[in-house]
Structure 1
Amino acid sequence: MTEIKGKTALVTGASKGIGKAIALALAKEGVHIGVNYHSDAGSAENLCKQIEGLGAKAIPIKADVSDAASVSVMVQEVEENLGPVEILVNNAGIAHKDELENITEADWDRVIDTNLKSAFLVTQACIGTMKQQQWGRIINISSVAAQTGGVTGPLYAASKAGMIGLTHSYALFLINDGITANAITPALIETDMVKELKASPDKIPMGRFGQPNEVADAVIMLVKNAYMTGQTVGVNGGLYFS
């Protein structure tokens, strides 16, 4: 397995939920973390303190990851304070649940921009230095909704399916640069988003919600594995077999 201690990671949407668990798991491996957040500064700052308590460096970075200019500033801030981004976790995402006939173009744009466009923008901003170093890890947090349609509606499903296609392309084009790209498709992880959607674990064969740290475990595996690329890893309690 690859040694990752001392490397630098950027985790988008990291202030809570799955993103927070991923940031902490990486920090436990000695990785320095750029903690991206959109609005919850307090949670991001508290997470950075937790990371520092584990012996790693961390900085909170407020940025709209669906905006190219904001992304550019964010990546520059990570590079100046922690070093070039070697591990990128595109985790930022939102859901929009509504009756099909009530979904608007503005709803579509907001979900696609936050979930899919952001993954493209942040990855594009980081791959230059990854290629220079001939080492990098790109991990896109998709969703089982990309494979099943999910309970959150077509906007979320389409955005998460797009992340898988994006992952395949980056894996193909970067395979000779020492860079791997993989996707993770969680299902009904116990987060604020799942609580807001009032989802039930009844349809999950394992009979329970997943935990954020169980997604984080998969991230660590992918970061340390140099031979896996272009793969979609399900963390879904048996909800979808692939």
Structure 2
Amino acid sequence: MGLALVEKLLEEGDFVAASGRSSPALRNLEWQYDSKFLLLDGDLSNPLEATAAAQQIYHRWGALDCLIINAGTSDYLGSDVSAATLFASLVRSNLNAALYCLESARALLQSGNSPQLVGILSRYSALPLNDPSDPPGPSNSLAGLFDSQRAALAAQFIDMTLIAPLNWNSPQTSTPVSPERWTAKSAAEVIVGLLPKRHGNLVLEALHQHDLWPLPK
């Protein structure tokens, strides 16, 4: 999904910075698009590396018009870990990365043109950390983290769009939503096409989660 979003934005003519750990596909885009693409090859769940990434963007372009936080999966654990450990790590890793990216990029967004934050959650990264019965908040839920930032971002004239699977406890829409067989490419095309409308919430209900955010084999 992240790669498909990067490719679509570059095709649209945007200048794009993207994070990825030693990704051959992103390396190819760096060669293909040269000055229009900046590869941030680091661990954004580390606050120091997230700050360094923001500094790279500042030195290249000085501002951000749109920050997309694609919190879908985690591919940095061995195949022998338990499912509970895997998903706890996934949620915690994405939660930390989202927080540190937003903190590091806030000043860049304030300097941007009609700035926008976009958070994209998978079915798994949208799960709460620890006890599912706990109310979602910025310390245990990505959705809670994003929602807790809405008012502060609005005060800084930064729009926010949260794209997530349907939440049955607090539906984002009154319109029925059926799961679809999304591919990374088709989802990226729809998301990029809807960004200018600046919806507060969008529902992405995937029939097969693995098609968008494949877990490690």
2:182 corresponds to = 210
Assess, with a 3 A threshold, how the Cα gap between structure 1 residues 71 and 238 changes in structure 2: closer, same or farther. closer
Structure 2 residue aligned with 1:44, among 26, 33, 53? 26
Deviations 1:201-220 (A, max 9, x none): xxx865xx421122212331
Assess, with a 3 A threshold, how the Cα gap between structure 1 residues 108 and 143 changes in structure 2: closer, same or farther. closer
Indicate whether 1:221 and 2:193 are aligned.
Answer: yes
2:204 corresponds to = 234
2:36 corresponds to = 57
SS of 1:91's equivalent in the other structure is strand
- The question of whether the paired residues in 2 share the 8 Å contact of 1:134 and 1:179 is answered with no
Assess, with a 3 A threshold, how the Cα gap between structure 1 residues 132 and 211 changes in structure 2: closer, same or farther. same
1:9 corresponds to = none
Bigger proportion of residues as helix: 1
Counterpart CA distance in 1 for 2:189 and 2:59 is: 28
Please report how far the alpha carbon of residue 166 of structure 1 lies from its aligned counterpart in structure 2 after TM superposition: 1.9
Counterpart CA distance in 1 for 2:17 and 2:53 is: 9
Instruction: Give TM-score, length-normalised by structure 1.
Output: 0.64
Counterpart CA distance in 1 for 2:47 and 2:142 is: 18
1:94 corresponds to = 74
Residue segments in structure 2 that go unaligned for 5+ positions in a row? 167-177, 210-217
SS of 2:162's equivalent in the other structure is strand
Assess, with a 3 A threshold, how the Cα gap between structure 1 residues 141 and 102 changes in structure 2: closer, same or farther. closer
- The question of whether the paired residues in 1 share the 8 Å contact of 2:118 and 2:162 is answered with yes
Runs in 1 of length 4+ with deviation above 6 angstroms? 95-98
2:9 corresponds to = 26
Assess, with a 3 A threshold, how the Cα gap between structure 1 residues 175 and 154 changes in structure 2: closer, same or farther. closer
Please report how far the alpha carbon of residue 126 of structure 1 lies from its aligned counterpart in structure 2 after TM superposition: 0.9
Residue identity over aligned pairs, in percent, reads 18
Q: How many residues were matched structurally?
A: 190
- Listed as ranges, the matches of 1:93-242 within 5 Å are 93-94=73-74, 103-104=84-85, 107=86, 110-133=89-112, 135-145=114-124, 162-185=141-164, 206=180, 209-226=181-198, 228-229=199-200, 231-236=201-206
Assess, with a 3 A threshold, how the Cα gap between structure 1 residues 131 and 237 changes in structure 2: closer, same or farther. same
Q: What residue identity is the alignment partner of 1:233? A: V
Counterpart CA distance in 1 for 2:204 and 2:47 is: 30
Q: What residue identity is the alignment partner of 1:46? A: N
Counterpart CA distance in 2 for 1:22 and 1:102 is: 28
CA RMSD, aligned part only?
Answer: 3.8
Q: What residue identity is the alignment partner of 2:184? A: P
2:174 corresponds to = none
- The question of whether the paired residues in 1 share the 8 Å contact of 2:91 and 2:125 is answered with no
Instruction: Give TM-score, length-normalised by structure 2.
Output: 0.70
2:214 corresponds to = none
Please report how far the alpha carbon of residue 146 of structure 1 lies from its aligned counterpart in structure 2 after TM superposition: 6.3
